Amino acid sequence: MTSDTTATLAAELPTYTRWPLTIVRGSGSTVWDDSGKSYLDLYAGHAVAATGHCHPEVVRAISEQAKELLFYSNVVALPIRARAAAAIAAQAPAPLTKVFFVNSGTEANENAMRLARRATGRSDVISFEGGFHGRTADAISAAGLAKYRELGRPNVPGHRIVPFGDLAAADRALDANVAALLIEPIQSLAGVLTAPAGYLNGLRELCDRKGAKLIYDEVQTGFGRTGRFFYAGKDGVVPDLVTLAKGIGSGFPMGAVLVSEEIAAKVVPEEYGTTFGGGPLACAAAVATVAVIEKEALLANVVRGSRELVSGLSRLRGVREVRGEGFLLGIVLDRPARPVREALLAKGILVGGSDQSDVLRLLPPLILQAREIQTFLAAMAEVL
Ligand SMILES: Cc1ncc(COP(=O)(O)O)c(C=O)c1O
């Protein structure tokens, strides 16, 4: 870090334990620090740089939109907002047909819970041990990771937490006061935990039988990360609501709730709102992101790259297990993950940690190439 940078950073509230680098530039799956050193980025700014850093199509779309109209709120129609909603809804399974734009993942979850409460006339929400849904009041109260829930005290009443993967426990907890089940289909921060076979199907049946809504938090799994555009629809399970953020704008802040026809039909104007959600720059970024994912066949790239990563990593001494799907992978090590992450950083490779001290997380851009995967595997072999 240069002394100039250090002086400038001193005014920031110290909210994060920071990695020892200052990033100034990015392109594709590479970022550069303020001394000019390059890093292969398998973290993507926390699963955000879906199309890579500064994808030219995304940059062009944002710049062109900026020259036309920087902002107008939801009180008027914007062609670019309508296009973004149509582009996203076109990727979603029926009956998820409507989109409500917000600014972040936590806001998407707050609004999804409210939509479910108003649609059912019920108050409570079931979520799952290990889950993470954001840091605003209602979302943090749904955190299954207790340390976050505690940070959000006093919690919003009516949240019930059940074990992830235990259908009978969800059945017992789901009574006539429950409006919704809120679940990450793959629990990322918890250490990349996938649901047991048939579990999500079972939750869908429970919700149908007992009149509750199913919300998938796809803030991480959405927008191609698992090799499908959305996890919604996988194995025939379609939730009533899907929340999105992270990769949706390839780095431009945005969140969204995908809403079923049935719930959308109950929405009364003025009950939901946001000033900045669905702003033109974010919408331009989202339209470009969808287009790049399609044009560059990024879903296929994720499936192919994931196979290479999993098979390469599974052969390494020191790797106990590789969990997850697509480019949302957890590497379970036979040792603490942090020194491994730090040694990789020293070699110019960025990977993430998780809530489990022996699990590293990979959340790379969807554009990651075979040669970059080989660079990472070689570095990993040396470090381990
Ligand atoms: C699964 C999941 N849901 C929600 C959120 C909250 O998103 P945001 O930080 O954009 O509010 C996150 C953030 O890491 C997340 O991983």
pLDDT tens digits, one per residue of 342-369: 999 999 999 999 999 999 999 999 999 9
* Structure confidence at residue 133 (pLDDT): 98
* Structure confidence at residue 137 (pLDDT): 98
Q: Could you say which residues of the chain have pLDDT below 50?
A: none
Q: Which residues contact 132 (CB under 8 A, 6 or more apart)?
A: 143, 144, 145, 148, 184, 187, 188, 189, 190
* Structure confidence at residue 10 (pLDDT): 87
302 Cα: distance to centroid of ligand 1 (angstroms): 21
* Structure confidence at residue 4 (pLDDT): 56
294 Cα: distance to centroid of ligand 1 (angstroms): 24
HSE-up of residue 36 (Cα within 13 Å, Cβ side) = 0
Q: For residues 117 and 113, what is the distance between their CA atoms, to the nearest angstrom?
A: 6
Residues having CB within 6 Å of any atom of ligand 1: 104-106, 109, 132-134, 184, 188-189, 217, 219-220, 245
For residue 253, give the ligand 1 atom closest to its CA.
Answer: 10
Burial of residue 272 (CB within 10 Å: 0-12, 13-18, 19+) is middle
**Per-residue pLDDT tens over the stretch 295-333:** 999 999 999 999 999 999 999 999 999 999 999 999 999
- In the sheet with 328-333, reading across from the earlier edge strand, the strands are 319-325, 328-333, 359-362
Burial of residue 126 (CB within 10 Å: 0-12, 13-18, 19+) is buried
